[in-house]
Chain A
Amino acid sequence: MTSTEKNLPSVSDLSYEDALAELQTILSALEEETVDVDLLASQVARADELIHHCRDRIDVARIQVERVVESFEQE
């Protein structure tokens, strides 16, 4: 993971599914204690960033859904 870390795509470019998949991978690694403590902070930071990204996507989707549902009701 160390060798590829630098090549990771920017979180903002990831789709929700890809972001979620990466988050689960990081969490699994952290929970299995396979992550070197030196990388721990950066992995946690990446995971935090991924969580925020996913939450933003959910919020955006929620707003869009609410607008669409409103338009159904108006029709």
Chain B
Amino acid sequence: MDINEFSVFSISELSTLLKEGLETLFPEQFWVEGQISNLKTSRPGHCYFDLVEPNDEPGRAPAALLNVALWRGKRNQVEKVLSESGNLTLSDDLHVRILARVDFYPPSGRLQLIMDQIDPSFTLGQLAVERERLLKQLFDEGLLEKNGLLQVPDVPLRVGLVTSVGSAAHADFITEISNSGFGFTVLEYDSRVQGENAAAEIVLGLEVLSSHRPDVIVLIRGGGSTADLSIFDSEIVARTIAELNLPVFTGIGHEIDRSVADEVAHSSFKTPTACANALVNYVKDFSDKVSRLSDTIFERAKSVIDTETRFQNETRSKLTKIVSTTFTRTENAFNDLARRVSLTAPKQLNYQNNRLVELERRLRVLDPVNVLARGWSITRRSDGQLITKKEQVKKGEILITAVSNGTVVSTVSDQGETS
């Protein structure tokens, strides 16, 4: 090999040739598509990032990468266009189509694209395409409706909250919950809700809170640019929500579109305040239901008591009447019996007394004392035998005769004639 066959350049000569060659090759600006990575803003306000073409295999180094510079003056224009077109901002992972020129900077030997303008419709389209792809996949896997089928407890007072603690969204949510007057317990997980690693933090927050078994988990953030909210379109967040065994409520602050997180959540609301209000309404509905039941129970109880009281009063009245009647009847019967007793008993006693007087009279007639007093006498022989017939005595026999006041002793002189 003859070494004189090849040209020899100094670095500056080569750099100048490269610069001129590139300018010849790309005399005008052109559109280039890629994904933003390592976005940085310098103190003077210039933006720098890598425009990458991701590797088909996740986790591998990009298939291609070019440095991009966006000077402060152009950056303001670009941001304005993005904002007006769809609430977009420059951020990592954003798919962009930028208008740029190639620039080679000899002092540092750096090849970079100098960004001039951006096509926001490309970015919006990419976001929409990705979102549709993810939604279809979740639907096919049955994950889109899964969280929505979970039952929210009647009284969801124990709430897990994933948000940026201290943000306006956080303050709005807590204010609404506190003003309800109900005894909510809020378990908070402080998570970034935008920027690098935000999706991973949200996923961790959801899982950590889930382990504490709240009644529901709430994921909120305030409104922001479409790109800022792309976290909530991320697959990992969507899958985590879908697979959680607890109802997830979202209040992500979209004014127009719903994020994928909203789609897979149990319930989604436009603002954190609306989300808090929904929880309050769950509790309020239950409270109202209990109040209504309480009123119904009270009314029914009162009705039963009134009926019973009426029945008892009627029964008491009837009973009093029956007792009174029975008592009167009994008293009358008693009085009648008493009257009969008071009349009959003395009558019977008089009858018995008269009967006794008659018997006594009859007895007095038969009393020997009274017989002797009337002049009759009783004569016995000396041996005491009673003389009732004249044949019982002989002439000369001594007889003893009892009279009313003593005895007379006599001797039989003649038996006399038989009458």
Point out residues on A near B: beta carbons under 8 Å: 16, 20, 23-24, 26-27, 30-31, 37-38, 40-41, 44, 47-48, 51, 54-55, 58, 61-62, 65-66, 68-69, 72
CB pair A27–B378 under 8 Å, yes or no, is no
A58 with B363, Cβ < 8 A, contacts A72-B338, A72-B341 known: no
- Whether B368 pairs with A62 at a CB distance below 8 angstroms is no
List chain A residues, Cβ under 8 A from B378.
Answer: 37
Closest beta carbon of chain B to A27's beta carbon, Å: 5
Q: Does B346 count as interface, using CB distance less than 8 angstroms?
A: yes
Query: Within 8 Å of chain A (Cβ to Cβ): is B149?
Result: no
A23 and B359 form a contact (CB under 8 A): yes
Give the interface SS of chain A, mostly helix, strand, loop or mixed.
helix
B351-379 to A contact mask, C-beta < 8 Å, 1/0: 01101100110110011100000000010
Residues of chain B at the chain A interface (Cβ within 8 Å) = 335, 338-339, 341-342, 345-346, 349, 352-353, 355-356, 359-360, 362-363, 366-368, 378, 386
B366 touches A31 (CB 8 A): yes
Contact status A62-B341, CB under 8 Å: no
A31 and B362 alpha carbons, distance in the complex (Å): 8
Q: Are B349 and A61 in contact (CB under 8 A)?
A: yes
CB contact between A27 and one of B335, B338, B346, B359 (< 8 Å): that residue = B359
Q: In the assembled complex, which residues on chain B have CB atoms less than 8 Å from the CB atom of A61?
A: 345, 349
Q: Would B362 and A27 count as touching, CB distance under 8 A?
A: yes
Q: How far is the CA of A37 from the CA of B384 in the complex (A)?
A: 12
**A31-B362, A68-B341, A72-B338 known; A54+B356 contact, CB < 8 A:** yes
5 tightest A-B CB contacts, nearest first: A72-B338, A69-B342, A65-B345, A30-B366, A47-B363
With a CB–CB cut-off of 8 A, which chain A residues contact B342? 65, 68-69, 72
A24-B355 Cα distance, complex, nearest whole Å: 11
Looking at the assembled complex, report how far the CB atom of B388 sits from the nearest CB atom of chain A, in whole angstroms: 9
Asked if B356 and A51 make an inter-chain contact with CB atoms under 8 angstroms apart, the answer reads: yes
